[in-house]
Amino acid sequence: MYILETMTMPEFTKYLRQTKTIVFPFGTIEEHGRHLPLHTDSFIVQQVLLLAAKKRKFFLAPTVPYGVCTATRDHPGTIGIAPETLRTLARDLVSEAHRKGLRNVVLVSGHGGSLHMAALRETAETLVDRLSGLRVAVFSPYDLLWKELSSISETPDDSHAGELETSIMLFLERSTVKGRSPAEYPCFPRPLVVKDKVRYWKGGVWGDPGKATAEKGKRAITVIAEKVIEVIDMMERTR
C-alpha cells in the first residue's frame, strides 16, 4: 500500500513511476447520536480506502478530519469548518499534488452534507479547467451508492448515525459503539432555514440504529470499496 504519510522521498519518487493517482479522504468531527464516536465519518472512509489500497496502486493521503456540518452544527461535539475553508484546503491539496506530478485525484468524503460536497465539487470544477492534464473525481459513497446501500438497510430513509453507519462501525470497530440511540426521523420545516436545528433533531440520529448488524456493515464496506476501485480504474483508463 502506498501510504503517503509514511513514505520517504525516494519511495515517493519510485511509486510515482507506477501510479499518477492520489486519493484524499475527507471526514468530520461530528455528533453521531449518543452511541457512535465523533470521528465516525473519518474512520469509515479511511478504512474503506485501506481496503481498496490492498487491490490497487494509488497514493493514499491522510484523512482530512474536519468538514462542513450544518444540520449538526449546534449538537454537542460537532467541530466544523466553513465551506470557504474546505474549498481553500481542497484547492491547495489538489494543486500541490498536481505540482508533484500526480494527475488523477479522487476526493472521497465519508460525510455527505450538501454544502460540504458542493464545496469539494466547486473546487474540482475550477481546478480541472486551470491545471493541465488533471482529472478529478468527487463523491460520497452515500450519494453515489444510494440504491445499493439502501438495499442492505431495512430502515426506509436511513441516514445519519442510523442503521447503516452503525452497522459499519459494528463491523469495523465494535468497541466504539456505545449501545444504540433510539430511532429518530427529524422533521425540519422546509423550505425554511432554521437557526435552532437541535429543536427539530434532538438525538442527532436519522434512522434506526437498533436494526444494525455487523454483517450488514461488512456488506456495505465491500460495496463501497468496490466502487472506489471502479472510480480509480475509470480515471486511469481516461487519458
Q: pLDDT tens, 2-39? A: 999 999 999 999 999 999 999 999 999 999 999 999 99
Q: Where are the beta strands (DSSP E) in 17-67?
A: 21-26, 59-60
Hey, what CATH class is 2-237 in? alpha beta
Q: How far apart are CA 189 and CA 136, in angstroms?
A: 36
- Single pTM value for the model: 0.95
pLDDT at residue 192, rounded to an integer:
87
Q: pLDDT tens, 174-213? A: 999 999 999 999 988 889 888 889 999 999 999 999 999 9
Find the mean pLDDT for residues 96-101.
98
pLDDT at residue 140, rounded to an integer:
96
pLDDT at residue 181, rounded to an integer:
97
Res 237 pLDDT > 90: no
pLDDT at residue 239, rounded to an integer:
60
pLDDT at residue 136, rounded to an integer:
97
Looking at residue 98, its amino acid is H
pLDDT at residue 52, rounded to an integer:
97
Q: Where are the beta strands (DSSP E) in the chain?
A: 2-3, 21-26, 59-60, 104-109, 135-139
Grouping H, G, I as helix, E, B as strand and the rest as coil, residue 3 is strand
pLDDT at residue 125, rounded to an integer:
97
Q: pLDDT tens, 55-92? A: 999 999 999 999 999 999 999 999 999 999 999 999 99
C-alpha cell, 141 = 459513497
Find the mean pLDDT for residues 165-176.
98
Helix 40-53, helix 163-173: angle, nearest 10: 60
Angle at 137 between CA 214 and CA 128, to 5 degrees: 165
